[in-house]
Amino acid sequence: MAGTLATQILGILFCLSAAAAAAGTKVYSFNSQNSTSVSSLNASDGICKSVVEPLGYACQEHTVTTKDGYILSLQRMPSGLSGQAADKPPVLLQHGLIVDGVTWLMSLPDESLAFILADNGYDVWISNGRGTRFSRGHASIDPYDSAYWDWTWDELAAYDLPATFQYVHDQTGQNLHYVGHSQGTLIALAAFSQGKLLNMLRSAVLLCPVAYLNHLTSPFARGLVDLFVAEDLYWLGQHEFSLRGPVVNKLLEDICIMPGIDCSDLLTAITVIRTGTIAMYDYGNENDNMVHYGQPTPPVYNMTSIPNDLPLFLGYGGKDYLSDVRDVQALLDNLKDHDGDKLVVQYTDEYAHADFVLGVNANQIVYDPVIAFFKIN
């Protein structure tokens, strides 16, 4: 398990963001500072120049503009370390909330999924969601304007994901494999449940799938949910949430002095809470919901609508209290009619939330099975 304090705090904020989404809280973006080794990267240099090329890998910077004007950066790794061009289909990697595409590049090349896929002949594409340090552009709005941050994860499913899918498909002329972690699974499941993106998709790998958020097991996480409401920070002028900023420092101070909360092992606190369904943003009252949705409550993303013949790989861990085992089972219950040869489920008892992207043995435990899954799809 990853053990640095930065990684621990990252995991806690995974919990925070997912809990806010589960509660219908409008999350306005969290600036990613992934770990002490990459947090000092200069966004103007880009991921290719800063992280990939220094290790001897070819890398291209791309941008795509969403229908609502956000300019997203994508990185393409068209070959492995050998320099031989990819001869396998494209793979799109989608990070979770609070982080960015560097998530897939943080460990050594033989331990990081992006490098491993490139070395195995796949055409690797790394996505960076709106508001992250490498995707701060917009066609008309400055990121210093509060309007820039006025969106929820619904927009990620409705605009960001379709834009990146379409771009990769157009650039390569091929349907693609998808890998999402944490919120990267949430937005994919939402889109798939609405029948979106399926015509460009070969298969989907969902690591730490987040769809049903019903189990709270940590008093630390309960403190996070009780103390943090994204709207409160928004109206106080905190449109962006930085891991290095005073908001996080004050939040942790307030949490750690609460009775019954032990901050000595923050990784044990990665958990989630509140609701047993996944729905669009709740505007807080029936009238506003009627205006936006034509109904008094937000529409639910129906997981049973995901096509039964869509190749899916679900990976989850027994020590992950965010993508809780019981909540993953609720998702699997909704996929009970899925074609048996199209659904692979991998459970790793000792894995927690961050291990799926940072674990030193994830290359063997997770990534080897993922590549085997790609080969048959």
Give the residue numbers marked as catalytic.
182, 320, 353
Complete DSSP assignment for 18-86:
HHHHHTT-----EE----TTTTT--GGGHHIIIIIGGGT---EEEEEE-TTSEEEEEEEE-B-TT-PBP
Q: Are 273 and 213 in contact (CB under 8 A)?
A: yes
Q: Is 56 left (phi over 0), alpha (psi -120 to 50) or beta?
A: left
Q: How far apart are the C-alpha atoms of 279 and 265, rounded to whole Å?
A: 32
- Distance between CA atoms of 218 and 226, rounded to whole angstroms? 12
- Per the listing, tokens 């205006």 go with 291
CB 106 within 8 A of CB 37: yes
The backbone torsions φ and ψ at residue 90, rounded to the nearest 5 degrees and listed phi first, read -70, 150
Burial 27-61 (b: 16+ CB within 10 A, else e): bbbbbbbbbeebeebeeeebbbebbbeeeebbbee
Phi, then psi, of 10 in degrees rounded to 5: -55, -45
> Are 95 and 101 a contacting pair, CB within 8 Å?
yes
Helices 5-22 and 219-227: angle between axes, nearest 10 degrees: 60
Q: Match 């605009």 to its residue by tokens.
A: 159
The residues, ordered by sequence, that sit 6+ positions from 164 with a Cβ below 8 Å of its Cβ are: 64, 72, 74, 92, 94, 125, 127
> How far apart, in whole angstroms, are the C-alpha atoms of residue 250 and residue 31?
16
Angle between helices 183-193 and 161-172 (to 10 degrees): 80
* DSSP 8-state code for residue 216: -
